[in-house]
Amino acid sequence: MSDLTGLSNYTDYMTDTNRVATENLQRQLEDSAKAKENEALFDACKQFEAYLWEQVYKEMQKSVDLFGEDEDGYASNMVDFFKDSFVQEISQQTASQGSNSLAQMLYEQAKRNYNL
C-alpha cells in the first residue's frame, strides 16, 4: 500500500486555495455591486438637483420675460423651445458643479439612511 499523505496534503491545499479564491471573488462582486448602487444613487441625486435648478431658473425667467409675442406665434414657439432647452442644460451644469452641491448632500444622507 502506497503512502497517500502527500496526496491528502495536496488536496487540502487545493481546497483551501479554491476557498480563498472564491471568497475573494465574492468580495469583489459585492464591492462592484455597491459601487454601481452608489453610482446610481448619486446620479439620481444629481438629476433631482438639476430638476430643482430648472424650476428655479424657469421661475426667474418668468419674472423677467424678455421675449414678446409675434403675430403668427411661430417665432415665439421656437424661442420657448430653445429657452426650455437652455434652462435644462444650464440646470444640469449647475447641479454638477462643486463638491458641496445639493446632490452630494442628498447622496451622503441617503447612504447614511440606507446603510450603503
CA dist 95 and 103 (Å) reads: 7
Q: What is the pLDDT of residues 41-88, one digit of tens each?
A: 888 888 888 888 888 888 877 766 655 555 566 666 767 777 778 878
Helix axes 102-113, 5-63, angle to 10 degrees: 140
C-alpha span between 42 and 72 (Å, rounded)? 44
Please tell me the predicted confidence (pLDDT) of residue 1: 47
> pLDDT class for 115, splitting at 50, 70, 90?
confident
The set of cell numbers assigned to 61 is 425667467
How many contiguous H segments (helices) and E segments (strands) does the chain have? Answer: 3, 0
Please say whether the beta carbons of 109 and 44 come within 8 A.
no
Calculate Rg over the CA atoms of the chain.
28
Alpha carbons 44 and 42: distance in angstroms, whole number = 5
CA dihedral 47, 51, 57, 60 (to 10 degrees): -150
pLDDT digits (tens, 9 = 90+) for 10-37: 777 778 888 888 888 888 887 788 888 8
